[in-house]
Each structure stands twice: as C-alpha cells, then as structure tokens.
Amino acid sequence: MTIAFAKANLKRLLPFGRISIGSVIDINKLVLFGCTPGEVPSIKSRADLNIRKITAEELSALAYDCGRFADQARLYYVKRGIDTAYGVYLNEELVHMSWVYTAAEYSKEPFRRLALEDREVEIVNCFTLDRCRGLGIYPYMIQFLSNLQFQNGVERVYMMANHKNTASQRGIIKAGLKVLGRVTYIRIPASSNKSIYYRRHQGNI
C-alpha cells in the first residue's frame, strides 16, 4: 500500500471537509460585568412596564408554547428544575425574560460559567422580543433585578455578554454595571454535557 493511497483512503473514511470546527470545539469569548450596592442607580418606576417573578405554574404553561420564552422554560425549568425567571410585561404581555442564578442554580447546570460565592448572583439568559427592543426594557430589568438582589442581602451582581454583542454590552453598562474583564471559554467536545472547559480572565475583579 503506497503512502498516497493510504492518505486518499483516510480522507475518504474521515471526511474532514464535512466537519466544521464548531462541531468539535466551542470557543466563547465574553465580557464580564459586575456591580456592588450603590453602583447601580435606584430604579425609576415606569408605568408602562410591570416586572415580577414568573411562577412555576406559568413556566409550566409557557413550556407548551412556542418561541424563545417557551424554549427557555423547557430547558431551564422543565429539564433542569430552575425556577428563578423574571418577566417584564407590557400591556400584560411577556416581552422580556431574565433569570437570576446563585451557586444553587449553577449546580443544576452542566457547566458553571462563574464559581459564585455566597451573596453573589449572575443575571443570565436575558431575552427581549425583537419588536420591543430599543424601548429601554433590558437596562430597566437589569436595574430592577440588581436592586432587588441588593435588598435581599446580595453583595455583588455579575453579568456576561458575548464580546461581539455590543447592543447587550451597552444595555448592561447603561444599567450601571462596570466592565471587570474578559473571559474565554473553550469546551471540548462542543456537544457534550461532560466537557472540558478552559477559562481565561483578563482584567481585575
């Protein structure tokens, strides 16, 4: 068997051209934000918006619906048992959803993005309906949740945003959080719940 034949046969058996790097390795570059009590302005109530914790019954019902909110309800509540979702309602319609994670919530996830300590939380999985973006709902929700957590004894609130998602970063900064640094996660393999992660931090916390 010649070397040329062996290489050609290997290429046929292992079609590398059909495998994208994203199916093998997941690289996620994020900007890390944080704040402590007093750094986030007191929320100025808006008459057009109502924010409240979404009940377990509402999450169960939402899981049978369709769309991004339903996807989150199925993944985080039904599959993983996390029930710390909050909603922003405009004219009684759910238009934004965010989740608050402590170490307890992260213990139910296949991967912890942050090793949270007592009195630390992360606001995660934030989503606003496309037609309601640009109305200031996202920073309003962040301010509400941050102040709520501080009232309940939390000492630090964290958030993360993709390094290319400048709109999300602007909303977080507008709410009063400060950039703490950048974090790079590498997961191998990309599709496995039991994966190897690499964290690289740049900046000071």
Residue 82 lies in a domain: yes
Q: Which residues form the domain of 145?
A: 22-203
Per-block average pLDDT, block size 10, for the chain (205 residues)?
A: 51 49 70 93 92 98 95 97 98 97 94 88 97 96 97 96 95 95 75 51 50
Residue 156 lies in a domain: yes
- Here the CATH number for the domain that contains residue 197 is 3.40.630.30
Residue 16 lies in a domain: no
Report the predicted TM-score, pTM, of the whole model to 2 decimal places: 0.82
Q: How many domains does the chain have?
A: 1
Residue 9 lies in a domain: no
Q: What is the pLDDT of residue 203?
A: 54
- Reported for 135-141, long-range contacts at CB under 8 A and 24+ positions apart, including other chains, are 137/49, 137/88, 137/90, 137/95, 137/96, 138/96, 138/168, 138/171, 138/175, 139/171, 139/172, 139/174, 139/175, 140/43, 140/46, 140/49, 140/51, 140/88, 140/175, 141/51, 141/86, 141/88, 141/96, 141/98
Residue 194 lies in a domain: yes
Residue 187 lies in a domain: yes
Residue 14 lies in a domain: no
Residue 161 lies in a domain: yes
